[in-house]
Structure 1
Amino acid sequence: MLFERFEKLIDPFKEVPDEMPPNKILPFYWHYLKQVKGIFLCLLIVGFFASIIEVAFFNFLGKIVDYIQASSSPVNFFSDHRYELIWMAVVILLLRPLFFLIHDLLERQALTSNLVTLVRWQQHRYVLKQSLNFFHSDFAGTISSRIMQTGNSLRSSAISCVNAIWHVIIYIGSALFLFIEADWLLTIPLLIWLVAYVLTLIYFVPRTKQRSAISARARSKLMGCVVDSYTNITTLKLFAHTELEQDYAKKAMQEQTVAAQRSTRLVTAMSQVLCIINGLMITSTTALALWLWSNSLITIGAITLATGLVIRINNMSEWIMWVVNGVFEEFGIVQDGIRTISQPRTVQDKPNAKPLLVPQGNITFNHIYFSYDSKRPIYQDLNFSIQAGEKIGLVGPSGAGKSTLVNLLLRLYDLQGGSITIDNQNIAEVTQDSLRSQIGMVTQDTALLHRSIRENLLYGKPNATEEEMLHALRQAKADEFVLNLVDNDGGKGLDAKVGERGVKLSGGQRQRIAIARVLLKNAPILILDEATSALDSEVEAVIQESLEMLMKDKTVIAIAHRLSTIAKMDRLIVLNNSKIVETGTHQQLIKENGLYARLWQHQAGNFVGLDE
C-alpha cells in the first residue's frame, strides 16, 4: 500500500550511538534531523516544484486575460490557444495533485509520526540511564513532559521551516521576475515591502524567541506542579491541604499565564505592523499597475498578474508570521527540553567495562571517600570487608550513612576516592547492568510498576515460567491473595494490575511481592533495607521463614531500625556520623555497652525470645 511504503521510509528504533544530545539549539536539531536528512531533502525538492506550480496559477490567469483581449473572435479562441490551454490543464489537473500528494506523503506519512517517535525514543533511552540524582533533582512529570513535547516541537518547527523556505523564495523571487518581465517599475513597491518585512522580522523575532522560552519554562513548571500534586494525592488528602495545594497550583498558573500574555502581546503587535505594510504594498502595486496600463506600458493581464500575486504574497506573509511565531514557540519548548535532556550522565560504564562475575560474593570497601556535595563529605577513608556467605547487619541512628553505603555498592553514585570490590573486581570497572543483576534488594518503600503482578515478577527473572512464579509467591506467602486479585479491567491473579507504585495492594502485600521478585532473581548478593518494616508483627513472623530461605547461601547486608530483625546476623556493623564505631555479634556488642547496647535498650521492651 502507498501509505505503508512512505511510513516505512524511517525506522524510529534503528540502532544509533547512545550519546548525549548537544546542548546548543542548532546542533541539537541537527543531531536528530541528520538521521532523516534524505527525507527532508526530498521534501525541499518537492516543495520547490509545488511552489512553482502555485505561482504558475497567477501567470496563467494573466495570460488568459491577455489571450481573451487579443483574440480576434471568441469562436477562434480555443483553436488559437489550444496548446497553451492544454498545458495549463495538465499542470493543474495532473502535475499539481502529483506534487502535492508526494509532499503530503513525505510530510505526514514519513515524517510526522516517525520523526517524533525517533526523537522520543532516543531521548528516553538516554535519560533512562541517567544517575539517580538526576531523577531526584526534578519532577518526574516535568522530565516526562519535556521528552514528550520536545520531539513534537522539533518535528513541527523543522517541517515548518522547510515549507516556509520555498514559499518565501519562490513567491517573492517569481514575483520579482514576472514584474520585471512586465515592467521593472512594478518591482519598486515589492522591494520596499521586502525591506520593511525583513526589518519587522528582525525586530520581533528575537523578542518572540526570548519570551517563548520563558513561557515554555513556566508551562513546564506548571506541568510539574500539577503532576506532583496528583502523584502525592494521598499525602495531600491526609493533611487536608487542598486549599494550600490550590494556592500552589494557582501561583504556577498565574506565572504561566503572565508569561504567555507577554508572548502574545508581541504577536499582536507584529500582526498589526504586517497588516499595515501589506496594505501599503497592495495599494501601491495596484495603483502603479493601473498607472502603467493607463499609459499603455503594460497589458490588462499584467494588472491581473500583479494584483493577484501581491494579494497572495500578503496572505503568505501573514502565514509566515504565524509560522515564525510558531517556530520560535517550538524553539522555546525545545530549548527547555535541552536543559533537562542534554545533561551528561554522572554515572557511566567505562568504555571497556566487562560483566561482573560473582563466583563467591566477597565484598570489600577500600578507603572509600564520598560526598553528595563538595562541602560535606559523607565517608572519609572507610574500610571494611564482608566475607562470601556472611550475613551482616548495618546498625546506626538515622543519618548515619547506612542507605548511602548500599547506594554506593549498587553504584547509584560514584565514589570520589577509594574503591568497592566484589570478588576482587572493582565495581567502577564493570557494567552497571551486570553489577545490579548480581544483587537482589528488598527495600522499605517497595514501589511496584503500574503493571500486572506477572510483569512485576518478571523483573526478577524475565524468562521465568508460570510454575516458577507461583513457587516464588508460595515461598513469600503471597500466593493466596495474588490468586484472588481482580482489577478494574477484569485481569485476575497474575494478570491483575497493581496500580501506580502498587497502591492497590497493602504495604505488606507489596513487600511480599517484592520478596517473591527477589526470590526469582536469586542473586548471590542480597540487600535487605528495612525489608519487613511495612509488615505487622504477625505477618512478619509468617514470612520470616521466607526471608531465611532468601538469605540462604548468599552474602547478605541487612539494614533495620527494628533491631530484632538483624540481631541474629553473623556480624553487626554499627555506624555513627558515617564512621564504623563498633563491630561484632549481637551478644558481643551488648557486653561492650556502647552505642548498639543503648539502641537496644531503647527498643528492648519490644523484643521477646532473644538472649542478650
Structure 2
Amino acid sequence: MLRFFERLVDPYPDQPESVPADRLWPFVLHYSRPFTGLLAAMAVVTALVSIAEVVFFTAMGELVDWLAEADREGFVDTHLTSLIGLGAAVLAGLPLLVFLLSLITHQGIFGNYPMLGRWLSHRLMLEQSLSFFHDEFAGRVSQKVMQTALAMRETVTKVLDMLVYVLVYFTGALVVLGAAEPWLMAPLVLWLAGYLALMRVFIPRLRRVSMAQADARAVMTGRVVDSYSNIQTIKLFADAGAERAYAREAMDGFMGTVHRQMRLATWLSVSLATLNTLLLVGMAGLVVLAWYHRWVSLGETAVAIGLVMRVRSMSDWILWEVAGLFENVGTVQDGINTLSRIPEVQDRPAAPALRVQHGEIRFEDVVFGYARGSQVGPRVFDGFDLNISPGEKVGIIGRSGAGKSTLASLLMRFHDLQAGQITIDGQNIAEVTQASLRRQIGMVTQDTSLLHRSLRENLTYGCRDCSEERLWQAVRQAHVHEFIEDLVDPHGRRGLDAQVGERGVTLSGGQRQRIAIARVLLKDAPILVLDEATSALDSEVEAAIQQHLYTLMEGKTVIAIAHRLSTIAMLDRLVIIDKGRIVEMGEHESLLARDGLYASLWRRQVGGFLGE
C-alpha cells in the first residue's frame, strides 16, 4: 500500500521541460500540476478530519450530559449501545482518516513533490547558456534548485492545510455554539476580528523580512562556496583574514534579517497570547453564566470550553504556519529569478539534427560582442569571414584577446551571433539542435576541468558504449597509462576506478589535459577543435603525444589554437587574427617569407609563448 502511493506520481518525468512563468502562483502551479489529484484528495480528507474533530467534541458534550442526568444504576442499560458506537467510531474512524491523510501526504506528496521540482529545475539549469554560469555562483544555483522545490511543497501544502482545516473547523465550532446559544458565537467572532487584525499588522512585515532573509542567505552561501571552490588561491596568497572578513560581511547581513524576524516574532507571540487569553476568559465567563441561568446544559458548557481551547492552540499553529508560509514564499520568489530565466541560446522549434558528411566550415560576415543582460559589449568580430575546406587543418594564431577562443566558442554555439552565420556542410548551426552540433565536434580546451567521478567515467564521457580495448588504446595514445596505476583515492579505489576529485584537483594540469585528449580520441568526432590542447604538457610529453594528435587529425576538419607556434606550424594553413580581423593567412614558410605579424611573433617567441 505504501509503495502504491509512493508511485502515484513519477518524480523523474522524461518529457521536455518548459521554462516556468516568472510570477509566484503560475510558477508554483507549473510544478504542482502532476499532483493536482493528490492535493485535491488531501483537501477532502483534511476537511473530513476537521469535521470528525468537531463531531467528537459534540459527542463528548452529550456524554457529559448523560453522566449529569443519568441514574448510576441504569446508566449502562440506557446508554451501552450509544457508548459502544461512539467508542468504535472514535477508535476506528479518526485513525483511519489520519492514516489515509498520511498516505496521501507522506507517501504521495512530501517526497515526490520536491524531487520532481529539483529534477525539472536541474534539467532546465543544464540547458542554460554558458554565460549564465559565468555570472552565477555554482553554490548559489544549486542551493536554489534544492531549496526552491522544498519551499514550493511547503507553500502549497500549508495553504491547503490551513484554508481547509481552519475554514471547516472554525465553521463547525460556530455551528455547534450557535445551536446551543447563538450569542455564544460572539467571543469567537470578536476573537477572529482581532486575529485577522494581528495578521494584517505582522504578516506583511514578516513577509518582507523573509524575502530579505532569502536573499541574504543566498549571498552568504554563495560566498562560502566561492571560498571552498578557490581554496588553493586562498592558501597560495595566505590571506585567510580577508576571506574571513568577506564571509563575515555576508553572515552579518544574514544575522541582521534574523534579528528583525525574531523581534517581530516576540511581539507577535505576546499579542497572540493576550488575544487567546481574552478569548478563553471571555468564553469561560459566558458559558458559566449561561449554565448558572440554565440557558445551556453542562455538556454544552464542556463543548464550548473544549472548542475554545482547541481554537486557542490552533491559533498559535496557524499564525506560525502563515509566518512560515511567507518565509517559504520568499524562498520561492528568490528562486524564480534564477529558475524561470529563459536560456540565451535556444534550439529553434522542431530544429533538425546536424549531419556532417564532409566537414566544411564557413564563418560568413560574423558580428559578435559579449553581452551582459540586454547590453552588448564591444564587438570582438565585425564582419569576420573564414572558409575551412573539408579535412583541412587550420591553425588560428594571434595575441591574447585577439578573438581566438571566442571563435571556437561561437563554433560550439556557446553564444549566438548578433549578425552573420556559421555553417557546417551548408547547415546554419543556429538552425540545428545544440546537442547534435556538439556531438559532431571534439574539443580540447586549455582549462581542462574534470567531473568529480571516476577516471573511467571521465574518459568515456563522450563515448559511453566504447569497448575496453578502444578505451585502453586511447589511454596509451594520450600517455594516460603512465600515471593510471599510481592513482588511489581516499576510499582505496585504484586506477580507472579512482575518483579524481572536484574539477580533477587530485591530478596535475598536465595529467588532466592528457585525459581530455584521450576523451576526444574516444569521441572520434568529424570536426576537431584544439584550444591550447598541449599547453599544460611538458615538452617531452608533448612531443610524445604530438604524433598521436596528427593521427587523430587524419580525415577530420581541424581548428587548432595555440600560443606555442611550433605545435601548429606544420598545419595546412595558418590564420593570423588581430583585434577580430584576419591580417595574414598562408603556410608557415610563406608567412615567414612575408615578414609580417606572424614572422614577428615567430622571432619573438624563440620556442616560448606569445607576448601581449
TM-score, normalization by structure 1 = 0.97
Structure 2 match to 1:195 = 193
Deviations 1:238-284 (A, max 9, x none): 11111110000000000011012212222222222211111111111
Match of 1:361 in 2: 359
Aligned residues: 605
Report the CA distance between 1:96 and its aligned residue: 0.6
CA contact (8 A) 1:444 1:534 kept: yes
What corresponds to 2:53 in structure 1?
54
Q: Deviations over 1:141-171 (max 9, x none)?
A: 0000100001111112211222212321122
Where does residue 166 of structure 1 map in the other structure? 164
Question: Which secondary structure state, in structure 1, belongs to the residue aligned with residue 583 of structure 2?
Answer: strand
**1:493 aligned residue:** 495
Give the structure 2 partner of residue 403 of structure 1: 405
Contact 2:361 2:388 in 1 (8 A): yes
User: Which residue in 1 is equivalent to 2:438?
Assistant: 436
In the alignment, which of 240, 243, 257 is matched to residue 242 of structure 1? 240
Question: In the alignment, residue 62 of structure 1 is paired with which amino acid?
Answer: G
Q: 1:291 aligns with which of 283, 289, 292?
A: 289
Shift of 1:78: 2.0
SS at match of 2:74: helix
Q: Deviation at 1:510? A: 0.9
CA–CA distance in structure 1, aligned partners of residues 18 and 608 of structure 2: 53
Alignment of 1:412-451 (within 5 A): 412-451=414-453
Distance 2:350 2:289 in 1: 79
Q: Deviations over 1:283-337 (max 9, x none)?
A: 1111111111111111111111111111110100100011111111111111111
| Partner AA of 1:199 in structure 2 | A
1:466 corresponds to 2:468: yes
Q: What is the Cα deviation at residue 456 of structure 1?
A: 0.9
Match runs of 1:538-553 below 5 Å: 538-553=540-555
SS at 1:143 equivalent: helix
SS at match of 1:418: strand
Equivalent position of 2:65 in the other structure: 66
Give the structure 2 partner of residue 140 of structure 1: 138
Aligned twin of 2:535: 533
Unaligned runs of 5+ in 2: none
The corresponding residue for 2:581 is 579
Deviation of the 1:84 alpha carbon: 2.4
1:48–1:170 Cα contact (<8 Å) kept: yes
Q: Please give the residue correspondences for 1:142-541 in structure 2 after superposition, counting only pairs within 5 Å.
A: 142-373=140-371, 374-541=376-543
**How far does the alpha carbon of each residue in 1:372-426 deviate from its partner, in whole angstroms, 9 at most, with x for none?**
1324122111111011111111111111111111110000001111100001010
The question of whether the paired residues in 2 share the 8 Å contact of 1:154 and 1:334 is answered with yes
Q: Distance in 2 between matches of 1:108 and 1:268?
A: 32
In 2, the alpha carbon distance for the partners of 1:260 and 1:559 equals: 52
Q: Which amino acid aligns with 1:421?
A: T
Partner-residue secondary structure (3-state), 2:423: strand
Once the two structures are superposed, what CA deviation does each residue of 1:318-376 show, in whole Å capped at 9, x if it has no partner? 00011111111111111111111100111111112111111111100011111113241
Pick which of 442-451 and 480-489 moved more. Answer: 480-489
Partner Cα separation in structure 2 for residue 397 and residue 15 of structure 1: 46
SS of residue matched to 1:488: coil
The 2-side partners of 1:184 and 1:13 are apart by 54
Q: Which amino acid aligns with 1:31?
A: H
- Alpha-carbon distance between aligned partners in 1 of 2:199 and 2:76, rounded to the nearest angstrom: 47
What's the secondary structure of 2:499's corresponding residue? coil
Q: Which among 587, 590, 593 is matched to residue 588 of structure 1?
A: 590
**Within 5 Å, which residues of 2 pair with 1:31-50?**
31-50=30-49
Q: How does 1:591-606 map to 2 (within 5 A)?
A: 591-604=593-606, 606=608
1:479: Cα distance to partner?
A: 1.6
Distance 1:267 1:377 in 2: 54
Distance 2:442 2:152 in 1: 40
Q: Deviations over 1:119-141 (max 9, x none)?
A: 10011111111100111111000
The residue type paired with residue 226 of structure 2 is D
C-alpha contact (below 8 Å) 1:502/1:510 kept by paired residues: yes
Superposed displacement of residue 21, structure 1: 1.0
One-letter amino acid of the counterpart of residue 355, structure 1: A
Give 1:24's aligned amino acid.
Answer: R
Q: Cα offset for 1:606?
A: 4.4
| Helix, strand or coil at the partner of 2:606 | helix
Which position in structure 2 is the counterpart of 1:110?
108
Change in CA separation of 1:261 and 1:449 when aligned onto 2, cut-off 3 Å: same
Distance 1:352 1:64 in 2: 71
Q: Is the 8 A contact 2:564 2:608 kept in 1?
A: no
Partner of 1:9: 8
Q: Cα offset for 1:490? A: 2.4
CA contact (8 A) 1:271 1:321 kept: no
- 8 Å CA contact retained: 2:65, 2:297: yes
Could you report, residue by residue, the CA deviation over 1:75-133 in whole angstroms, capped at 9, with x for unpaired residues?
A: 21122122321222122100011000111111111111111111100111111111001
Q: Which 10-residue stretch deviates more, 260-269 or 354-363? A: 260-269
The answer (yes or no) to whether the contact 1:267–1:325 under 8 Å persists in 2 is: no
Amino acid in structure 2 at the alignment position of 1:379 = F
Offset of residue 551 of structure 1:
1.4
| Residue type of the alignment partner of 1:156 | E
In 2 relative to 1, CA 539–375 (structure 1 residues): closer, same or farther, beyond 3 Å? closer
The one-letter amino acid paired with 1:576 is D
1:100 and 2:91 matched: no
Distance 1:300 1:135 in 2: 69
| Matches of 1:311 and 1:354, distance apart in 2 | 67
Give the CA deviation at 1:605: 5.2
C-alpha root-mean-square deviation of aligned residues, in Å?
Answer: 1.3
Contact 1:167–1:316, Cα closer than 8 Å, also in 2 = no
